[in-house]
A and B are shown apart, each in its own frame.
Chain A
Amino acid sequence: MKKKKAIKIKDVTISIPIFIVLVILALLVLVPIIWMTLSAFKPEKEIISWPPTFVPQSLTVENFVDVQDRINILRYMLNSVIYAGGTTLLAVIVNSMAGYAYAFYDFKGKTGLFLMTLATMMVPFQVIMVPLFLVVFKLGMYDSYWGLIIPRVAVAGSIFMMRAAFSGIPKELAEAARIDGLSEMGIFWRIMMPQVKPAAITLIILSINGSWNDLLWPMIVTSKTQMRTLANGLALFIGQNTIEYGAAFAGALISLLPMFILYMVGQKYFVEGMASAGLKG
């Protein structure tokens, strides 16, 4: 009895310092985000006062009006929605179809195509950005939504994730549906897709997040102001060495909010998807 108690006390003396370290780390993550959020509601005069405040002394929404006046942030947001939405919709369809084919069909050239897909994973995006720009330019898709979306649809990692999900389904299910007279497309769409819902949701969430936050690609394939997305529009705004701090805070907050909401709704999918599909960036 006595021994057990001793161990407990020892555990507590270790776990309190650990807890403090973990709390400090959490504050290191949260405090900057909170400061930025609060600052977005401070009047410009308070933002530039020295020393800076943490809690706002007076609240205002003028920064949000300012950022709209200065860079038409609503238009950027619309572009981000179109880019993220379009890429995600097509990515789910295209990558699921491919994953399904690799999991369920035997055909000539399967190994070759599979290896080619695998090889594309080894090609770092930053290495091919210059020729990728040329390809998009030559296809006449420069400065268009198509140019933003189409090259980003097929992703080897997503194909493998969907293939793994489909591999868990017994082949008899497809056979039974075939006997019932369903077409191959019908089997895939009506029988198989509902079976892999968690993987599909993970793909959707990661794809929305990835394209919403994407900076480099929109910068490469668009130049017109009205084609800018939130990520690259704000980057260019801040890059002009802006002194409109309030507008910058407001813009950054606007760009983060949809992802915070998505994270609250689909935390499980974020974590599982990123932990299994691998690291980005």
Chain B
Amino acid sequence: MKKMIKYWNKPSRSAYLFLAPSVILLILFSVVPLIIAFGLSLFDVSITMDSACFIGLENFAEAFQDSRFINSLKVTAIFTGLEVPLQVLGALVVAALIAKNNIKNKIFRAVYFLPVICSATAIGIMWKMILHSNIGFVTAALQSMGLGKINFLNTPGLTIFVVSFISIWRSFGISAIIYVTAIQQVSASLYEAAEMDGAGKIRQFWHITAPSIRPTFWYILMTRFAGALQIFDIIYITTNGGPNYTTESTVTYIYSRAFSSRSSMGYASAMSVILFAIIMVVTVLMYHKMNQED
């Protein structure tokens, strides 16, 4: 026993002991599942896994003819197209307004950050009730303004906008805070020089702040994009894909095909692989564009 302790106590050896837990866990629960995902997509497997039959690329062929899958890609694209630009640019404007360190701005920051720590479940329940057609106070307020009774979470064409809004409401605080951190790191002497040249606040923002925080902008854009393409929880709570599949995102559809009564693990994996490819292509393209700019 003592000998063993002594053997492993050599720095170069104990490094492996220190790393073993994380490496084993990451392989088991990240690397292996990714490999299985690709493998599984070539099989026809049910949730019970009692039979698996190799069908090659049939799952992929099926996916591209599955109108519900195509629809889910469209929904995800609309959601991403609404959520990401509004959030990334809106948060930048807000951040520019609250970047200075004073008590007033610190209070604003603390408030805007509040939804970030809340669960999607609680936020979803909250907005579901607020926009509820029978008990919601926003519904009532708009009705009293003569706009009629709007059923926010059950109107095809409108609900996707509502879901995007809830998602922005939930996470614009974190984007704003990240911008604030970046803006505060811009050297004060740059602003002083601009001030002497008589540049106004808005010109200072465009010519000094904006170029200085470009890496942060790209970082937020890329992470928000990848996040939006995987949207699930807010949709699951508020609409579960309804009405009429108009808010059914790709992950929502994958989830229902993997874990519901019509379960097909192989087919769900094939759709996951397609989604993975889309995320990777978008990320790589953005990364390329970012490097081109610098």
Contacts and interface: CB of A to CB of B under 8 A. Distances in A.
A18 B11 CA distance: 58
Contacts of A154: 21-22, 25-26, 29-30
Contacts of B116: 270, 274
A98 B118 CA distance: 29
Interface string A98-129: 10111001111010010011011011111111
Given A185-B14, A252-B121, A270-B117, A35 B29 contact: no
A26 interface: yes
B124 A235 contact: yes
A22 B98 contact: yes
A168 interface: no
Contacts of A105: 11-12, 14-15, 18
B128 A256 contact: no
The binding surface of chain B is classed by DSSP as helix
B23 interface: yes
A279 B22 contact: no
B144 A51 contact: yes
A131 to B, nearest CB: 4
Nearest to B36: A131
A50 B11 contact: no
Interface in A127-176: 127-135, 137, 150-151, 153-154, 156, 159
Contacts of A134: 33, 36, 40, 49, 265
A88 interface: no
A64 B236 CA distance: 24
Contacts of A259: 117-119
Interface in B136-157: 136-137, 140, 143-144
B181 interface: yes
Contacts of A122: 280, 283
Interface string B81-113: 000000000000010011000001000111111
Interface string B29-60: 11111101100100000000100000000000
A48 B31 CA distance: 50
B62 to A, nearest CB: 16
A137 B136 CA distance: 41
Contact of B125 (A151, A238, A280): A238
A154 B114 CA distance: 27
A124 B9 contact: no
Contacts of B275: 124, 126-127
Contact of B33 (A22, A100, A131, A249): A131
Contacts of B232: 126, 215-216
Contacts of B21: 93-94, 97-98, 153-154
Interface stretch (B67-75, B207-215, B220-228): B220-228
A18 B96 CA distance: 11
A200 interface: no
Interface string A250-262: 0111011001101
6 A-B pairs with the lowest CB-CB distances in the bound complex, closest first: A213-B119, A105-B15, A131-B36, A154-B25, A101-B18, A98-B22
Interface of B: 5, 8-9, 11-19, 21-23, 25-34, 36-37, 40, 49, 94, 97-98, 104, 108-122, 124-130, 132, 134-137, 140, 143-144, 169, 171, 173-175, 177-178, 181, 201, 219-220, 223-224, 226-227, 230, 232-233, 236-237, 240, 251, 254-255, 258-259, 265, 268-269, 272-273, 275-276, 279-280, 283
